[in-house]
Structure 1
């Protein structure tokens, strides 16, 4: 079953500007927040595509890719554990975004919409790999390993071989601990830790209530501390 659930709109909180008035107490209306830079850019690209200005749309889309590529690679690698496949997943997600930019609605930030597309693509790849691995045993030289992902996602790997080995061991230990989390806790932790997403954004991406997201994150961190401290 997919870790990512369809988005469900929560009812407005009693004190939300969208909620109906429950008394005579006057409230100052809160203006909506201005769209983020990437959301504004996505809206511009959508307008360019709608008007048929495809060359300019592609040029502007390159700016959008630059805004999200590093973060997207971090997220994809945490799901796929293979740098080359993570890169393919990110490229596929960007292609899908550009192809379907006309369906984007700014009710949610672009980052939320894009991340949902990326995660769903990664989950599909994991399912396909699981089916494939029932029949084929991958050779060890095909595994690009965490070092390659670090070079791709987070800059140059340590030059000292011993430092690289220690860094790899730490990443492998953390990855194994994350894999021991249950599905929703793992998803919430990865989006918050590797995707720099807020609990509100994670709620929008996954359909999990924001307060439940916070509970999952708290429990995930507590479990990871136990796993990494040598206790279960």
Structure 2
């Protein structure tokens, strides 16, 4: 694989609340041959991260959910390099960033050439052998499909194997409505549970556990006369 082909398979996530910076970095890194995802706030960054970027450029000084908070959430599931963009130069801020899980930081105003060199350096020495995570973020709720775990605000929700299978199936098809029989058919391995009506009971238990963990609103919606869907 040549250098250009490698870059085209490399995805960067750029997060900054300043549209001019996002546009500039998108244009620069796209021009370098990378695939670029963008976000202007923390919640959007978490959703974009579901696409498993190879490196994240993350602004610290964003309103509502700052870069430190975003980084901590990402680090619960992702291992890719995270480079902070910050206007703060105090040592305490740099330390806070590293404690949150950042790999590096670049001070604003920055040189595109310097930032580009930092990004390429991190990608070049990225030797983490773990498989990429496959994660969905819905507010405080996070589903890690590889680890088969569900957390709400960082706390694990104790699902049975069958309950997690239903959560995984519905959430991977968010917005689509599935009849109880269809869920029973698509989520295999029911063994002795051959009656599709057991799906209703499993969903009741899933909802109860999520509610007890503080997940709101209920991510599973009942579409009367049709079935169930995961809220998109």
TM-score range, shorter chain: under 0.3
User: Higher helix share goes to which structure?
Assistant: 1
TM-score by length of 2: 0.24
Structure number with greater CO (CA < 8 Å, separation at least 6) is: 1
The structure richer in strand per residue is: 2
TM-score, length-normalised on structure 1? Answer: 0.24
